Amino acid sequence: MTIWVLGDQLSRTHGPLADVDPETDRVLMIEATAFADRHPYHAQKLALVFAAMRHVRDELREEGITVDYQRAETFGEGLDSHFEHHPGDALTVVEPASYGAGERLEAMVDDRGGSLECVPDPTFLCSPEGFDEWLDSDGDAPTDVGDVRHEDFYRWMRRRTGYLMNGDEPVGEAWNFDDENRAFPRPEYDFPEPPAFEPDELTRETLAWVEDEFDAWGNLEPFEWPVTRTQALAARDDFIEQRLPEFGPYQDAIVGRSWAGNHALLSPALNLGLLHPTELIEPAITAYQDGHAPLPSVEGFVRQILGWREFVRQIYRRRMPAMAEANQLEATRDLPPLYWDGNTEMACLETVVDRVRRRGYSHHIERLMVLSNFGLLYGVDPAALNHWFHATYVDAYHWVTTPNVVGMGVFGSDALATKPYAASANYLDRMSDCCGDCRFDPDETTGEDACPFNALYWDFLERNADRLQSNHRMGLVYHHLENKADDERASIRERATAVRERVADGEL
């Protein structure tokens, strides 16, 4: 048997590689480069994927397993070379998470005289069949996921796995502790430094190759991400010991002095297959049971993995291909230059874009309430913002970004949210320390010194009133809009128009 291992399917503990037989099996890996020409990918994202693949290749070979490692421009060229030496070969691959990828790979193999079997992905805790059965048992038609809430799914997953449960009831007598996880750290609070993994010789070779081979975006160094399972486990252990205990309270805070906060930084390794979800969830729960970490922190962490990650994967599966093209608010503006160059006097955007450029990472609130919120209020085309997230984040794949960006971030689809996550400067002033040093005033809506988020926020509500005003969850904000005098609303429209023009020209 030949096991075809894709770049984001590097698990040695679950799936085909867990049972590979050196006597009878071989492994095929294709290091294709043409995909990187589609977008200006972050240099560290490219380095992470290729370095991780190369390390798995060498580990397998050291164990006596035959690895056909093809370096080619396309998957097709890599398959051509493989089948030239192994005509009619039968391949096995884990079903890719990205929409339609399995069918495309199967057709490519079939065209070359081989066969391909796609097997279920064991690196998720909810199977497609399990999700569909849950929909049926919950009274929803399998073809309609529009009314399915993440909270209902998360509770079902908790009961199904037994994680943080006392029988049929949640540990701590609450399903989530969001109210306890929205604090802002005091100035004297000292965030622990996350581990930085010094590149070994193979990783350094990969970094040099990426620099020469690709016209990539972002800083290539310092490159400190884990690229092996050993490093990923060390990163996991460091998080559990150093940052999990206070992960919860400050997980939504945007803090200038710490790019990482108390976040786990494990999603890149998790999405590559270097770690399995159970290897994160179960040690976190053990930390709670041992008294090392409080329940609100542990539950918040578990919810991100057991709940949200699993949920968006299934909603993506059910809503594609329409989700990728969804644009229910009919937003059509081009992606502003500031997402690429970070040239803006808006401190929050400058800070977060700089973090993405430096490391290919920012945490979930920076993604949702700064980058996506600004795109939503500005009116950027959802597909354009989705492409940017997909290219620039080290943990981003199409199944990750499409529901999070199109479905939630800019409300292009109704699959994940019942209302847009739109916010003015008031939220950013409360949950970040960016506003204090910003040249724009978060308390002003109009005028040259007013924070652009404010005029864009009210203008967004006015422009989308026909679509959003009937939403019962937005009644209060529309009541506030209606109470504004005509001349104030006219001034807001004028300010919003000027802001959009300056943003488009890269001059804000």
Residues 343-354 have pLDDT tens digits of 999 999 999 999
Whether 146 has a pLDDT exceeding 60, the answer reads no
Question: Above 90 in pLDDT, residue 148?
Answer: no
- Give the three-class secondary structure for 450: strand
pLDDT band, very low/low/confident/very high, at 140 (cuts 50, 70, 90): very low
Q: Other CB atoms closer than 10 Å to residue 426's CB: what's the count?
A: 15
CA distance 203 to 51: 6
Enter the tokens of residue 451: 């924070």
**In the prediction, which pLDDT does 147 show?**
65
Q: Which of 348, 362, 337 is nearest to 442 (CA)?
A: 348
d(CA 466, CA 183) in angstroms, rounded, equals 35
Tell me the sheet residues that pair with 387. none
Provide the greatest CA pair distance for the chain: 80
The model carries a pTM of 0.94
Contact 389, 396 (CB under 8 A): yes
Please write the tens of the pLDDT for every residue from 156-211.
999 999 999 999 999 999 999 988 778 899 989 999 999 999 999 999 999 999 99
Under 8 Å between Cβ of 392 and 308 = no
The DSSP code sequence of 23-70 is TT-EEEEEEE-GGGGTTT-BHHHHHHHHHHHHHHHHHHHHTT-EEEEE
Identify the DSSP state of 371.
I
Gap between the Cα atoms of 50 and 256, Å rounded: 31
Pick the CATH number of 128-198+228-319 from 1.25.40.80, 1.25.60.10, 3.30.710.10, 2.40.110.10: 1.25.40.80
The stretch 253-279 carries a mean pLDDT of 96
In the predicted structure, residue 248 carries a pLDDT above the cut 60 = yes
Q: Can you say whether residue 447 is alpha, beta or left, with left for phi > 0 and alpha for psi between -120 and 50 degrees?
A: left
H or E element at residue 270: helix 267-272
Q: Domain spans of the chain?
A: 2-119, 128-198+228-319, 338-504
What's the confidence (pLDDT) of residue 142? 40
DSSP 161-179: H-TTEETTEEGGG-S--GG
pLDDT score of 61: 96
Q: What is the pLDDT of residue 127?
A: 95
Strands 169-170, 90-94: parallel, antiparallel or unpaired by DSSP? unpaired
What distance in Å separates the CA atoms of residue 262 and residue 245, rounded to the nearest whole number? 9
Q: Is 193 exposed, middle or buried (0-12, 13-18, 19+ CB in 10 A)?
A: exposed
**Cα–Cα dist 73/165, whole Å:** 49
Strand 165-166 to 169-170 pairing:
antiparallel
Lowest mean pLDDT among 27-41, 101-115, 382-396: 27-41
Q: Which two tokens stand for residue 386?
A: 């989705």
Helix residue ranges per DSSP H, 163-257: 201-213, 229-238
2-119 to CATH, choices 3.20.20.70, 3.40.50.620, 3.30.1490.100, 3.30.450.40: 3.40.50.620
DSSP assignment, residue 195? Answer: P
Average pLDDT, stretch 11-15?
Answer: 95
Q: pLDDT by residue (tens digit) across 371-391?
A: 999 999 999 999 999 999 999
For residues 500 and 465, what is the distance between their CA atoms, to the nearest angstrom? 19
Angle at Cα 69 formed by Cα 63 and Cα 71, nearest 5°? 150
Domain 338-504 -> CATH class: mainly alpha
Q: What phi, psi does 344 have (nearest 5°)? A: -160, 150
Element (H, E) at 94: strand 90-94
493: helix, strand or coil: helix
Q: How far is CA 414 from the centre of its chain?
A: 18
| Beta partners for residue 68, in sequence order | 28
Q: What pLDDT was estimated at residue 138?
A: 56
pLDDT at 201: 98
d(CA 207, CA 220) in angstroms, rounded, equals 7
